[in-house]
Amino acid sequence: MRYITFALAKGRLAKNALALFEQIGITCEEMKDEKTRKLIFVNEELGFKFFLAKPTDVPTYVEYGAADIGIVGKDTLLEEGRELYEVLDLNMGKCRMCVAGPESAKEKLKHHELIRVASKYPNIAKDYFYNQKNQTVEIIKLNGSVELAPIVGLAEVIVDIVETGATLKENGLGVLEEVCPLSARMVVNQVSMKMENERISKIINDLRAVIPKD
Amino acid sequence: MKEALLHTPEGVRDIYGEECREKQALIENLTNACRLYGYDSIQTPTMEFFDVFSKERGSVPSNELFKLFDRYGNTIVLRPDMTPSIARSCAKYYSDHILPIKLCYHGDTFINDNKYYQGRLKENTIVGAELIDDSTVEADFEIISMVIECMKSSGLEEFMVEIGSSAYVAGLINAAGLDDDAKEEIVNYMQDKNYTGVEAVLKSLNTDKEISTALASLPQLFGSVEILDRAEKIAENAESQAAIKRLRDLYKLLKITGADKYITFDLGAVSSHAYYTGIMFHAYTYGTGEPVINGGRYDKLVGQFGKDKAAIGFSVNVDRLLIALSRQGINLESEKKGALIVYHNDDQSRTVYVADQLRQQGIPACMITYSDAKNEDQYIEYALNSSLKYLILMPDLEDDFDIEKIGSVKVKLIDACQKTGQETEIEKILKGALR
């Protein structure tokens, strides 16, 4: 039997996904040990391998077939735009991709004005402004603390993930427009889906039954 | 060394040595597989007018084409795909042909992939075949059989060919009466097998309940032949029903030759190639994340260049197949043969004669001069890297050549795993030549 390899986005998502897997009988004891320095974990009995990767790398591993299945946020999938099968919405880690900024910036989104948009997600930001709003904008790629940009005058608005909106509020910013809803997804390599159809379809169907409903 | 001059542009590369030999052997095997079905060769130019690959005919978006201009200002592109070129040349040269046209080809295609893939190949070698002016299910069968033949001829054992039908999907989409935007959105989601996305679009539209359930289940509609029963049940429109019947007829034929064991179906498959009208298929194997063979029926394409002609074809991505083979440890290199002749500088005339005699017998002979700084092992390594099987060390010619000295000419079999007894043959030629 060939191994089926899972790439999990590091962090809370991986933990929640593993809990979900446990419900359908896919376990990996090795992985629960928080002190371990191992990079790859194996369940010999079921023929599964697991590894953790930086979220933005998960679609890459899966596209190239280094991993058969990936668990990753929709935000990363949109930003990376890889050729994958997106087979399941795990309905967890739910949040929204939003345009945010000070109240005063609201007006600037209405008139196709050339504005500056700071984001960790330049592709999502570009697609939203160019293709959905038809507004020409300057995209500024940042790597963290994007909220800072409108405050210090680097950009008029930002495009970022909003969960509760608390960070925005504390800094005098707010959600101006919603780009799209986000949640965790299961993605599958196109060839794996075909070559290992039976095993992977079983995982998908089992998961469908245990995914939390709204 | 001029460092900057050493590099090739992004997405293209040099192929040399063993890899190059393997690639050529693979192209030959694939071409022979097509010949086995009586396909004739064709070559079309690397450059074509831009319009040959327009949106309706093309396989890649316009911004991913390599473009140049000719001296009259026409836009020229490097072909991103072979099929439209073949369709064009068929319309041009075979317009009065009354029997089916069977052609095979190999050539390089160029796609200026502008995504995040640095170093992903933009130049790909393709081997393919097209069967034009035959709309029967037997034609579908012939092409699928050739796909399987190609996979086998490359040495693969574990692979599968997955068949879908663009007519089946089109039947459902037409029955749903979606507008172009919704159609495009749904097709995009189906390409990603995004169940939730398809469901969400359908929910937002007011489509017939039965049809939307059918569309929503498409992304899961793949697997072995039983999936056809399910597909038949959920799509009642005539177009989809006819498509299923066609697939069943095809499967019946494939069963006769035992090819059915490689076949699966994907009724939710949609292609980015706008020109497909009937069956579409992909061949997969381990070791590469993408299909190695793509193809399908394109009954409306030739007509865009002239008279309507039904057609079906496939193309093998040779570079991708080569990667899959090497990752599966399958070696394609043909048997080593021929000899490396190492000779002393003052011994040219004799060596030239020996080499010529060998070549006349069809035995490859590669000559290099002897150097004191090199040892026998280094010559052996050189010979093996050049795919040669024997090492001939010509004796030093200090003394005048003497017939008795033939015995000191060393013919050495260096690739021990491939014993054929050819050394006696080479020795015979040597003795004859030196006399």
| Per-residue pLDDT, A4 | 94
A111 and A89 within one domain: no
pLDDT of A86 above 50: yes
Give residues with Cβ within 8 angstroms of B219, minimum separation 6.
Answer: A87, B189, B190, B193, B194, B195, B198, B268
Q: Identify which has the larger pLDDT, A143 or B350.
A: A143
Q: Torsions phi, psi of B72, nearest 5?
A: -100, 5
| Per-residue pLDDT, B404 | 42
State which amino acid sits at residue A5: T
A174 and A109 within one domain: yes
Whats the size of chain A, residue-wise?
Answer: 214
pLDDT tens digit string along B81-90?
999 999 999 9
A115 and A174 within one domain: yes
Tokens encoding A6: 């899972």
Please give the residue of chain B at the shortest CA–CA distance from A198.
B223
A151 and A193 within one domain: no
A118 and A129 within one domain: yes
pLDDT of A112 above 90: no
CATH of domain B339-434: 3.40.50.800
Domain boundaries, chain B: 3-327, 339-434
pLDDT tens digit string along B27-48?
999 999 999 999 999 999 999 9
| Per-residue pLDDT, B420 | 53
Radius of gyration for chain B, computed over Cα atoms and rounded to the nearest angstrom: 28
pLDDT tens digit string along A9-41?
988 888 899 999 999 998 888 877 777 788 888
Neighbours of B180 (CB within 10 A): 7
pLDDT tens digit string along B346-370?
778 888 888 888 898 888 899 999 8
Beta strands in B172-278 (DSSP E): 222-223, 263-266
Strand partners, B126: B107, B317
B26 min Cα distance to partner chain A (Å): 22
A160 and A101 within one domain: yes
Query: What's the mean pLDDT in B400-418?
Result: 50
A58 and A161 within one domain: no
A86 and A100 within one domain: no
| Per-residue pLDDT, B337 | 80
pLDDT band, residue B376 (cuts 50/70/90): confident
Give residues with Cβ within 8 angstroms of B119, minimum separation 6.
Answer: B10, B11
| Per-residue pLDDT, B287 | 84
Q: Which of A85, A87, A195 comes nearest B160 by C-beta?
A: A195
Tokens encoding B32: 């022979």
Return the CATH number at A65.
Answer: 3.40.190.10
| Per-residue pLDDT, A83 | 84
User: Is the whole model's pTM more than 0.80, yes or no?
Assistant: yes
CB contact under 8 A, B197 and A190: no
A52 and A20 within one domain: yes
In 3-state terms, what secondary structure has residue A159? Answer: strand
Q: Which of B197, B284, B288 comes nearest A194 by C-beta?
A: B284
pLDDT of B396 above 70: no
pLDDT band, residue B400 (cuts 50/70/90): very low
CATH of domain B3-327: 3.30.930.10
A101 and A139 within one domain: yes
The closest alpha carbon to B175, from B118, B240, B120, B221, belongs to B240
| Per-residue pLDDT, B82 | 93
Tokens encoding B206: 């007011």
Cα–Cα distance measured from residue B261 to residue B244, given in angstroms and rounded to the nearest whole number:
19
Q: Which of B116, B197, B289 comes nearest A191 by C-beta?
A: B289
| Per-residue pLDDT, B403 | 41
A88 min Cα distance to partner chain B (Å): 7
Number of domains in chain A: 2
Q: Using CB atoms within 10 A of its CB, is residue A198 exposed (0-12), middle (13-18) or buried (19+)?
A: exposed
A162 and A89 within one domain: no
Q: Identify which has the larger pLDDT, A212 or B23.
A: B23
For chains A and B, CB pairs below 8 A equal 55
pLDDT tens digit string along B171-222?
888 888 888 888 888 888 888 887 777 887 888 877 778 888 888 888 888 8
Q: Which of A89, A191, A193 comes nearest B196 by C-beta?
A: A89
Please give the residue of chain B at the shortest CA–CA distance from A77.
B192
pLDDT tens digit string along B250-307?
999 999 999 999 999 999 888 766 778 899 999 999 888 789 999 999 998 888 888 8
Residue with structure tokens 């994007």?
Answer: A146
DSSP letters of B248-301? HHHHHHHHHTTGGGGEEEETT---S-TT--SEEEEEEETT-SS-SEEEEE-TTT
CB contact under 8 A, B193 and A85: yes
* Containing structural domain, residue A83: 4-93+183-210
Could you report the predicted ipTM of this complex, rounded to two decimals? 0.70
pLDDT tens digit string along B108-164?
999 988 765 556 789 999 999 999 999 999 999 999 999 999 999 999 999 999 999
The closest alpha carbon to B134, from B328, B282, B278, B333, belongs to B278
pLDDT band, residue B405 (cuts 50/70/90): very low
Tokens encoding A105: 């910036």
A189 and A147 within one domain: no
